[in-house]
Chain A
């Protein structure tokens, strides 16, 4: 029921207008309220993490936390090796002075005037307040690159993702081609087998796969992460369904031109199956970049860790260095954000049409 064309639009009517339907229903209000809350709940935590990753180690310890990265100003004082943190101190006579803190003993802080380094002043800690400035702690990002194996983790993750995706695409598309194009004995049996094994998760066969990987000498090797998940029934199934739609005449024509079966697969069928292959490629990249349980089991030495395993190791330390953990989490996030920004449409239609993740 659409209302007749409105001749005079009052402000209220304008604000409460909806697309198509008549006036504002309570469900419209509820919808936008729900969506606004959703934006806050979904984006908020990630934005908070990203903002926090730019704070200094001491800035992160503050409670209550500040929204923006504020760092305490530190000043070099003659006679002290390390720069000292600067405070604004209310002295006994009521005057306010900026002093640097040497050390704190209980509730008394020993402070010094940067202009007059020889005289020490004792101040109760509730009389001083940190002097802060807006400061982005880039060192959270640069230090892990130099001091920890972070670059190695990054490299390992990239290798695993790229090689595993290449292997997955190759062997799965070959199998899909075999199953889609040819009539042969045992085809239905193999197809049934593929469908039947779609759902065997790694969690059910952890121990024996570990045994196989050990026998092959691939513990603590990236191959041990790459190969076990390479042949995915899901991938075969997806590609085969797509290849079934390729017209047989094209293949017959190529055979007339004396193309080998491999050439038909590589030069005729693969390019035509590109959309399905793209979907599988995106899924594979996501699976591999985010994979955690299996790498955690196979990789026990820190030089072969992937990003996810490395991050987990860092956050599990007794004395967690959150300023580094947060920065590394942001780095781990970045490729995913890119994939999301550019390929969202592919991914969502892929999921909606296959029901897989």
Chain B
């Protein structure tokens, strides 16, 4: 009886280069292991990741704060002048915090005000439509997989593509205006009116991100035990009552997570709106991240200190929201056992 060598499958051939690579790295790392001992090997595995993370996230986090205390237009920290809290003073110098026009750095306060308006509407309607969609997709409907895909696919589109798709529709001679003219209305210059620009910024970002939140809520809905519904049906409970008494309370932990996540993403809105409106008309759709981008990178004078100070302010807001998120997640995990 001869031993038959199994023929290599296609998968084996495809993975061969990776095998070879692993074998090549094995020699030096075997030597490392001999010197360091097994006990120190976890550090060897962690070093590349922690190294990158340290250089590109942890160090910058501290440097950011240092930057915000300096002035001038030089990039390298050693060339920069220490100015103490002057940048913060400049940002926060306002006679009346509700009126951005009364502030010395009015663009910053416009950015904060716009972000506030944007987030208030966007998060509310985003969560509302995601909830409605998830509830409908959770029903016993025909073609559920297809409809779920329909709502989800814009999530994968790049922000630039999303913005261009809608810009093409909303242009002066675009198809939406053609429709308005055909039903006897006037053309609307959507990117010239501040209100319309803000409306479309909110609409487009809901369009692009709704699928993501729908998916999370749908997973939450499907985790609700079906026996609860069966019991309610047996008792002849009305559908409306089932929704308010069973579905919503049991979904609430997921709702909280979704709301906070949407807040965190909403505060950082930049890409889609930047391409769609460029922040205009004027500063009507200029948000806080765009203020940081303009101040630090795109203006003629690159004011890194001011940009850093603004990002520290943004960081504080996001930190508070993240704490809220952790609390929401903990609550969800403790209820959804």
| A→B interface (CB under 8 Å) | 1, 18-21, 25, 27-28, 31-32, 34-35, 38-39, 41-43, 45-46, 48-49, 52, 61, 63-65, 170-172, 174-175, 177-179, 181-182, 184, 187, 190, 197, 199-201, 203-212, 214-215, 227-231, 233, 236, 260-263, 265-267, 286, 289-290, 292-293, 296-297, 308, 311-312, 315-316, 322, 325-326, 329, 332-333, 336, 339-340, 344, 347-348, 351-353, 355, 357
CA distance A17 to B147 in the complex (A): 20
**B173 engages A339 (CB within 8 Å):** no
**B207 engages A42 (CB within 8 Å):** yes
How large, as a class, is the contact surface on chain B?
35 or more
Chain B residues lying within 8 Å of A182, measured Cβ to Cβ, are 41-42
A38 and B275 in contact, given A209-B56, A231-B52 (Cβ under 8 angstroms): no
A208 and B22 in contact, given A175-B49, A290-B158 (Cβ under 8 angstroms): no
Q: Is B178 close to A, CB under 8 A?
A: yes
Q: Is B154 close to A, CB under 8 A?
A: yes
20 of the cross-chain contacts (CB-CB < 8 Å) are A19-B142, A27-B239, A42-B154, A43-B150, A48-B165, A49-B164, A63-B178, A64-B178, A174-B48, A184-B42, A204-B318, A205-B60, A212-B60, A227-B52, A230-B52, A231-B52, A261-B44, A316-B278, A329-B161, A351-B215
Chain B residues lying within 8 Å of A42, measured Cβ to Cβ, are 150-151, 153-154, 207
CA distance A229 to B56 in the complex (A): 8
Q: Flag the segment in B23-31, B118-126, B191-199 that touches A.
A: B23-31
Chain A residues lying within 8 Å of B236, measured Cβ to Cβ, are 1
| B→A interface (CB under 8 Å) | 22, 25-26, 29-30, 33, 38-39, 41-46, 48-53, 55-61, 63-64, 67, 75-77, 132-133, 136, 139-142, 147-161, 164-169, 173-175, 177-178, 181-182, 207, 212, 215-216, 218-219, 233, 236, 239, 257, 261, 264, 268, 270-271, 275, 278, 289, 292-293, 296-297, 304, 307-308, 311-312, 314-315, 318, 322, 325
**A205 engages B311 (CB within 8 Å):** yes
Chain B residues lying within 8 Å of A265, measured Cβ to Cβ, are 45
What's the count of A-B pairs with C-beta under 8 Å?
Answer: 274
**B261 engages A206 (CB within 8 Å):** no
Q: How far is the CB of A285 from chain B (nearest CB, A)?
A: 10
**A322 engages B168 (CB within 8 Å):** yes
Q: How far is the CB of A158 from chain B (nearest CB, A)?
A: 14
**A203 engages B160 (CB within 8 Å):** no
Q: How far is the CB of A216 from chain B (nearest CB, A)?
A: 8
**A311 engages B165 (CB within 8 Å):** no
Chain A residues lying within 8 Å of B165, measured Cβ to Cβ, are 45-46, 48-49, 329
A260 and B53 in contact, given A1-B233, A178-B46 (Cβ under 8 angstroms): no
**A203 engages B289 (CB within 8 Å):** yes
Q: How far is the CB of A323 from chain B (nearest CB, A)?
A: 11
Q: Apart from A45-B169, A177-B45, A211-B60, what are 20 other A-B pairs with CB-CB below 8 Å? A: A21-B140, A41-B207, A42-B207, A48-B165, A63-B177, A174-B49, A179-B42, A184-B43, A197-B57, A199-B322, A208-B308, A212-B59, A230-B52, A261-B45, A292-B160, A292-B271, A293-B270, A297-B293, A326-B164, A336-B156
